[in-house]
Structure 1
């Protein structure tokens, strides 16, 4: 279960925003581009003690959040050598990223054990990245904060390491549930990648 003050940071919460909310315009004229920010702001105003933390999180999201399109990710992943990496087609990577984060670079999920899944691939802090001074395994030798930026280099390198060290993509539950063993050719359809 996610902490209450981080719940609006999950892209799954954004899909619960009603269609009326998703089309409303702010005073600045920003439309759906700021939908996650607007949703988080409403969440913060509804809360008391955790409201301040939620508001701070919303401000960070509003300033730095990037949600890629499927085809933009296909191009980035292809250039990074993910197509057929360890035998996994580009479709596997695009499908997995969609079901893990909704292509959101700043997605964070707090898990019951206190660890956090970070970024577009939802890479876990307990084993793969470093959060502050906590004694975590950090197999990717990277700060967790580097996994939630628009520059996907560290996230891709870490995801490759996960696939190599765990012998596949079974690490990602979203991939196992929605992508494994399926025809994934449509995930790169019309994306101008080979």
Structure 2
């Protein structure tokens, strides 16, 4: 039994090392606050980190693996970036791929590329209006609870 447990442990560690970046991550609220602050989101396009955290909560529930099928296109990752305009998923006809990236890159635990594309979207829109989660749940509301205690 001891050898079996040791081998299983070794196998799990090996698989974890052999498949880097393939694991999803569900952020805690405060981890996301810290990450967004560290990437200059406070005041970016005139919005607060609380706006962005609220957006992410309502778009993906802080889950980097989230996918939402909208019929002819899909939304990917923690920011729910759309395949019709921003990334290429091989399924969406006529994708513009304005962020020049595969949508699958938005589904791993590394959100650096997600952040770059989300900022591009927000910059081009001059705000967060492209995200229904923000428009329907966050816009014009007191969002202090999204950053309190962090």
Sort the TM-score into its range (normalised by shorter chain).
Answer: 0.7 to 0.9
Say whether 1:138 aligns with 2:97: yes
Match of 2:58 among 99, 102, 126: 99
**d(CA) in 1 for partners of 2:52, 2:130:** 13
Unaligned runs of 5+ in 1: 1-62
* TM-score, normalised by the number of residues in structure 1: 0.63
Could you say what secondary structure the match of 1:109 adopts?
strand
Say whether 1:129 aligns with 2:91: no
Shift of 1:131: 1.6
- Aligned counterparts, 1:8-19, within 5 A: none
**Equivalent position of 2:149 in the other structure:** 190
Runs of 4+ in 1 over 3 A off after TM superposition: 132-135
Say whether 1:159 aligns with 2:118: yes
**d(CA) in 2 for partners of 1:132, 1:176:** 28
Shift of 1:167: 1.8
**Equivalent position of 1:118 in the other structure:** 76
Say whether 1:172 aligns with 2:127: no
Unaligned runs of 5+ in 2: 1-21
Higher relative contact order (CA 8 A, sep 6+): 2
Shift of 1:186: 1.6
Q: How many residues align?
A: 128
- Aligned counterparts, 1:62-81, within 5 A: 64-81=23-40
* TM-score, normalised by the number of residues in structure 2: 0.81
CA RMSD of aligned residues (A): 1.4
**d(CA) in 2 for partners of 1:93, 1:149:** 19
What is the CA deviation profile of residues 105-137 of structure 1, one whole-angstrom value per residue up to 9, with x for unaligned ones? 000011122x11000011100100012386410
